[in-house]
Amino acid sequence: MPVDLQALYPRLIHLMLDAVFVVDRDNTIVFVSDACEALLGYQACELIGTPITRYMHPDDLEATRASIVRVMNGQPHFDFRNRYIRKDGAVVHILWAAFWSDEVGARIGVARNVTALTEAEQELRFLAHHDPLTRLSNRSLFNQRLAAALQAAQRQQQPLALLFLDVNGFKAINDLHGHALGDRVLCAVARRLESCVGSSGTVARMGGDEFTILLTDSHTAAAVSERMAQILAVMAEPLGDAFGGLAMPSCSIGVACYPADGLDADALLSHADGDMYEKKRRKYSAEAR
């Protein structure tokens, strides 16, 4: 007995895990498959007869309209991504395959939810330039920003400052209280440094308990000293009860200024690192006396 495919097609469409949309030339939705409710949170009866642009993320409207024009001009689009706003207000990332059908006078699109994939891609891109623990810039991104800042300083003939910070006695925290608490301390240090620097500079974790700070808005020795005093004051504030009474460790900060202490990134980093270790040595020598 032959299979009646014509009768089967509507059921197959509603069985698809991806959502099917049919939209007329006025951008009005004329059909959606059952999967659309899982995608956008609306039932078919809520969507049919409404403009599809109503549900698009406003920041993606321009690019989406360009894709619509392309499809209506007879050029199928099989890899277009945009964002929609679900009924519950959440944002969903969608991968589209769409074409225009002259037979029905509408464009037909298949929509796949790629929110999890998009978020994973964004996280991978973020981690390429950021420290996974503290979420600060990593060494690679810091070096890029330092190089760009040096080029700008050379063109504008303006100084910049580079700070190298080390947490004193951090190894003892890991040894006595465990690495989990040590990681929380590093995150606390990161947030405090960010609060001091703001958007005008860059804070990076270079590895372990070492951090670097790029200051491009401190153009005098007095301004650099003032910023270092602010950092030391903020770093001296107690950790709070959430850390089980652990005292906030002190820190040592070395400084290098362009152009006085070096003309390139390597020279500045070496000078700031050496200055930090000299201050740490003096601190421990004074405590030993």
> Counting beta carbons within 10 angstroms of the beta carbon of residue 274, is it exposed (0 to 12), middle (13 to 18) or buried (19 or more)?
middle
Q: Which two tokens stand for residue 186?
A: 């590093």
Active-site choice (131, 166, 209, 261):
209
Report how many helices (DSSP H) and strands (DSSP E) the chain contains, helices first. 10, 9
Answer yes or no: 209 catalytic: yes
- Establish whether the linkage from the previous residue to 259 is cis, with ω within 30° of 0: yes
CA distance 230 to 212: 15
Helix, strand, coil shares, percent, the chain, to 5: 50, 25, 25
Angle between helices 179-197 and 221-235 (to 10 degrees): 140
User: Do residues 29 and 21 make contact, with C-beta atoms less than 8 angstroms apart?
Assistant: yes
Q: How is residue 58 annotated by DSSP?
A: G
List the one residue out of 250, 281, 15, 271 whose CA is nearest residue 161.
271
Q: Which two tokens stand for residue 147?
A: 């190089």
263 φ/ψ sector (left φ>0, alpha ψ -120 to 50, else beta) = alpha
CA distance 231 to 207: 19
Helix (H) or strand (E) segment spanning residue 63: helix 61-72
What positions carry a catalytic annotation?
Answer: 209
